[in-house]
Structure formats: structure tokens, C-alpha cells
Chains A and B, each alone.
Chain A
């Protein structure tokens, strides 16, 4: 399981991005996951290109902004996991009306944290 974990996350990311695509007609595909105390944020255009500029905003379950940072251009940004007790909404906004988000419920975070570390 430990060896498979990176592949599992990659597969889940691809699956989520693929499922999200039809509904995100005019947006950006965003996926977030948790590894221990790290929040992993992935965003891509449907072409597969990774945005180079933009803003990542993280909101808690009450829609209160808890963290904001700039897009780094990496395919997977690693951020410190904020307080997730009410859940998290991870939003990537690259301007010109292009944005996307992913929602993590507390159960999602608990389940992902329970998976063994790679």
C-alpha cells in the first residue's frame, strides 16, 4: 500500500480531473488532497497545461478565508494543512474569470490522513 500510494493519488487526481471536466466548461480543473499535515493542490487546464500565475485561496467550512498564496507553476503545490475541522474549500483563481475549486469535507481529510504515509 505504501508503495502504491503515489500511484493511487495520481490515479485519483486524474479521475477527479476527468470527472470534473464536463462541468467546468469555462474553468480550471482543480483537485486537492491531503497527505499527513500537507495539503496538495493540483490545477490544470483541459489541455493539461499548468497555470503559471494566479492565486490559491483556502476557505474553511464557514467560507472564511484561512490561507492565501500565489500559484507557483508546479503541477502539485504543497501547502501546510490549515485547521480542517469544518472542511476546506480550495480555490485557484488565475484571473479573466478562470477559476476552479475542490471541496474537502472533514471525512475526506480523515480518510486521506488515515492512509499510510509514502
Chain B
């Protein structure tokens, strides 16, 4: 009996690495894309999202050793829209690259343009686009479809289609919740990251530019006070990251209702993309309902 058990153990020990090697290796630049890949591929893929929790994946430049790992992946899922722009500054295998916002490039939101010149080169304008596209859950559903299409190169299409239908149904449910959000007053946010949520919901979301998770400085509070003079009807303030106690107190003292609307760039400490977004939307809905 012991011999059989030993043989069986050895067999599995030998087989496990081979099975792992057969799984699709996927690297992503954001947590939402990792979540979509995990939902769609299940155990058939190894999904890696290597950005450290204390770094903003939109601007993080991976160490070269990590970029070498990306180069070895079967699929590299990009958000596009200028998110993780290091991906344009390294040789990544074209066959593995999937720009998940390519299909809706014409619907990206332009955020700023800078006009200047380089010596005698003449004036020219640089455009920038908002990058957190998944906060419009219709666009997130299109990203999921792009991931699914890429996965079909490696995995049975029927399985992927079934998982995609379930995922898109969940995203549509979130979208319906977004469409119920109403407010005649503008909202204020701690950072300009909610452009796609605003466009889809019809809410007006203005913003300051405060570093995530830090207590604002005196001058930053003064800038907020100036904005509140400009928009006295504002009642709801969105935090992109969990605020410090002092920061939260400062918002409440100004008569605002604070909502931590997590962008989900990173894997949440509890739950997943879907539960985190449900929590965000429930908190926002409640704040809007209770606003005078």
C-alpha cells in the first residue's frame, strides 16, 4: 500500500510541472484585466499582475527582470489609453500583445492638451486621454471580449464564450446600477480618475489632484475651499484611495459626504473586482440618496 502511495505521489510530482507548463501564461498591466482573464480562463491559465500594492500601476515602470517575464508570456493584456506606458518602451512580442481598448479607441476621453514648441520645431499639441476605462462597465465588457478573443487562440472557444456571457452579465448588472445614479449637483473627487463613470452615468464629477492615501496640505485644503465657493451645491466627495483619519475629518467638517470609490487598479484586500465595484456603487448611491 505504501509503495502504491509512493508511486502515485511520484507520478503527480512529476506531472504537476508539466501540467503547469501547459497552462496559458498571462501577464496584465492592471487588476481588472487580471480579474477578467481569471474569470474567463479559470484554472487553464496562470495570470500574473506583478505591480506592487504601493505603486500606481498606471505609472509603474517594472524592473527589467519583470519585463523579461512579460516577454515570456503567451498573452500580455494591455489596458491601452496611455495606461502603463512603459509597454511602448520595451520589445514585447507582438503576437502576445492584446490592446483591450483598441476596439473603442474613438470613444476614449481626451483629458488635456499641451501646446508648446521645441526650439525651431514649431508649435505642436500633445493630447492625453483618461485611462480608467473600466469604470464605464460597458467598456469593461468590451475589454473582457478582447481578452476572450485572445484566449480562444489557446483554449476551447465554447468554454470561453460561456464564461464571457456570465462575466458580461455581471458587468451589465453593474452598468444598470450606474445608470440609476442621479444628482443635480456636481460631485468632487480627490483625483481626476472618474471620467468614464461620469460620462456613462451623466454625473458631473469635478476633481482636485491630491496624492492617494495622504492627508492634504493646508494649501490643498484652501484650494478645495475655493472650489466649494465656486460650486456651493457639492455634497459628495469621492476618495480614490482609503483616506487618512485627518483627511476624512476635513471633508466631513466641510459638510460633505465622503465615499471611498476604489478604482480597483489593484486586487482588493477582500473580495474581487465585482464585489469591490458593487460596494463602491452602493456607497455612492446611498450618499447621493442622503445628500440634501
A interface list, Cβ under 8 A from B: 16, 19-26, 30, 45-47, 49, 51, 61-63, 86-89, 98, 100-108
The reply to whether A20 and B82 form a contact with Cβ atoms under 8 Å apart is: no
Q: Is B128 positioned at the interface, with any CB of A under 8 Å from its CB?
A: yes
Prevailing SS type, chain B contact patch: mixed
The reply to whether A61 and B63 form a contact with Cβ atoms under 8 Å apart is: yes
Shortest C-beta distance, B52 to chain A (Å), equals 15
Q: Among B87, B89, B124, B126, which residue has its beta carbon within 8 angstroms of that of A100?
A: B89
For the complex of A and B, list the 9 residue pairs with the smallest distance between their C-beta atoms, beginning with the closest. A87-B64, A23-B88, A23-B85, A103-B90, A61-B64, A20-B88, A105-B68, A25-B126, A26-B126
Residues 67-88 of chain B, each 1 if its beta carbon lies under 8 Å from chain A, else 0: 1100100000000001001111
Q: Among B85, B118, B127, which residue has its beta carbon within 8 angstroms of that of A24?
A: B85
The reply to whether B114 and A26 form a contact with Cβ atoms under 8 Å apart is: yes
Q: Which residue of B lies closest to A86 (CB)?
A: B64
The reply to whether B68 and A87 form a contact with Cβ atoms under 8 Å apart is: yes
Q: Is B219 positioned at the interface, with any CB of A under 8 Å from its CB?
A: no
Shortest C-beta distance, B70 to chain A (Å), equals 9
The CA of A86 and the CA of B65, in the complex, are separated in Å by 7
Q: Which residues of B contact A51 (CB under 8 A)?
A: 118
Q: Among B89, B118, B122, B128, which residue has its beta carbon within 8 angstroms of that of A98?
A: B118
Q: Which residues of A contact B67 (CB under 8 A)?
A: 87, 103, 105
Q: Among A46, A49, A87, A101, which residue has its beta carbon within 8 angstroms of that of B65?
A: A87
Which residues in window 128-175 of B have CB below 8 A to A? Answer: 128
The reply to whether B89 and A47 form a contact with Cβ atoms under 8 Å apart is: no
B interface list, Cβ under 8 A from A: 63-65, 67-68, 71, 82, 85-91, 114, 118, 121-122, 124, 126-128
Shortest C-beta distance, A65 to chain B (Å), equals 14
Q: Which residue of B lies closest to A94 (CB)?
A: B118
A-B contact pairs, 19 of them (CB 8 A): A20-B89, A22-B82, A23-B82, A23-B85, A25-B128, A26-B114, A26-B126, A45-B118, A47-B124, A49-B121, A51-B118, A87-B64, A98-B118, A103-B67, A105-B90, A107-B68, A107-B71, A108-B71, A108-B91
Q: Which residue of B lies closest to A106 (CB)?
A: B68
The CA of A24 and the CA of B87, in the complex, are separated in Å by 11
The reply to whether B121 and A45 form a contact with Cβ atoms under 8 Å apart is: yes
Q: Which residues of A contact B126 (CB under 8 A)?
A: 25-26
Add 8 more A-B contacts to A30-B89, A87-B68, A88-B64 (CB < 8 A).
Answer: A20-B88, A22-B88, A23-B87, A24-B88, A25-B128, A47-B124, A51-B118, A89-B64
User: Considering residues B67, B86, B114, B124, which has the most beta carbons from chain A within 10 angstroms of its beta carbon?
Assistant: B67
The CA of A112 and the CA of B86, in the complex, are separated in Å by 21
Q: Which residues of A contact B89 (CB under 8 A)?
A: 20, 23-24, 30, 100-103
Q: Which residues of A contact B88 (CB under 8 A)?
A: 19-24
The reply to whether B86 and A103 form a contact with Cβ atoms under 8 Å apart is: yes
Q: Among A25, A105, A108, which residue has its beta carbon within 8 angstroms of that of B127?
A: A25
The CA of A104 and the CA of B190, in the complex, are separated in Å by 37
Q: Which residues of B contact A107 (CB under 8 A)?
A: 68, 71
Q: Which residue of B lies closest to A98 (CB)?
A: B118
Q: Which residues of B contact A106 (CB under 8 A)?
A: 64, 68
Q: Which residues of B contact A101 (CB under 8 A)?
A: 89
The CA of A88 and the CA of B88, in the complex, are separated in Å by 16
